[in-house]
Structure formats: structure tokens, C-alpha cells
């Protein structure tokens, strides 16, 4: 019967001030029960203070076949890292 119930991606916020982080997936027939199932599976040991669920089919993903053109060009752009720059000696408190 699991095939009847769509999958939902679960995001948990561990505490106030931090973002929701992907925790896993549950099956549920509707959004209300998806939240309840997520609560029982991913916050049973006090892991969270807030939950998001989204239908897995609504998540748009990058194409794994295009991962080289998507992500490799960032590999040699060290100037995008703040540590790439030498600070002038007169700059204090950095």
C-alpha cells in the first residue's frame, strides 16, 4: 500500500535562529499527516522545534548528468574565498 501514499521531504529546525535542515522522507496521504509522521520519525528524540514538509515530486533538482558543468567551474575560483586575500598590515580587528 506504500505506493498509494506519496513521499514527502522533511526539514527540521533544531532550534530558534538556525535554518531548517533536510532530515529525510516520509510517506503520507496528505500534508497534515505528513507533518504528523515527520514529527514521529524525526523529532522523537527532541531534535526539533519546527517542521517543514514538501511533496517530493514538487522538489526540482539539478540534473546529475550536468553536475560537471554545474559545479566543477567553482573549484578553481579561490578568489571567492575571503582567505584568498592578504590583509594590509594596517587593518586591525579582522
Partner 1 sequence: MPTDTHPTAPTDLDSTLLTYVLRQGDRSLVLAQRLLENVAHSPELEEDMALANVALDLIGQSRLLYTYAGQVDAGPTGEVAADAPSSDRLDENHYAYWRPDTAFTSPLLVEQPNGDFAHLITRQFLHDAFAAPYWQAMTTSTDETLAAIAAKAVKETAYHLRHSRGWVVRLGDGTDESHRRMQVAIDALWRFTGELFERDDVEDGLAQRGVAADPTSLERVWQETVASTLAEATLDRPSDEHMRTGGRHGRHSEGFSYLIGEMQSVARAHPGASW
Residue numbers of the site for partner 1 (CB under 8 A)? 1-2, 5, 26-30, 32-33, 36-37, 40-41, 44
Q: Which is nearer to partner 1, 1 or 91 (CB)?
A: 1
The C-alpha cell that represents 69 in the structure block = 558543468
Q: Least distance from C-beta 1 to partner 1, angstroms? A: 6
Measured CA to CA in angstroms, residue 22 lies from 3, 10, 11, 33, 92 at distances of: 22, 6, 4, 18, 39
Q: Least distance from C-beta 22 to partner 1, angstroms? A: 18
Q: Least distance from C-beta 30 to partner 1, angstroms? A: 7
Q: Which is nearer to partner 1, 31 or 70 (CB)?
A: 31
Q: Which is nearer to partner 1, 18 or 29 (CB)?
A: 29
Positions of E strands within the chain: 7-13, 20-27, 50-55
Determine contact, residues 52/42, Cβ cutoff 8 Å: no
Amino acid at each position: 500500500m506504500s505506493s498509494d501514499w506519496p513521499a514527502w521531504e522533511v526539514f527540521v529546525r533544531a532550534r530558534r535562529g538556525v535554518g531548517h535542515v533536510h532530515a529525510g522522507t516520509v510517506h503520507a496521504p496528505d500534508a497534515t499527516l505528513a507533518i504528523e509522521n515527520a514529527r514521529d520519525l524525526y523529532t522523537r528524540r527532541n531534535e526539533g522545534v519546527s517542521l517543514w514538509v514538501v511533496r517530493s515530486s514538487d522538489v526540482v533538482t539539478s540534473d546529475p548528468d550536468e553536475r560537471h558543468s554545474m559545479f566543477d567551474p567553482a573549484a578553481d575560483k579561490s578568489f571567492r574565498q575571503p582567505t584568498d586575500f592578504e590583509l594590509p598590515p594596517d587593518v586591525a580587528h579582522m
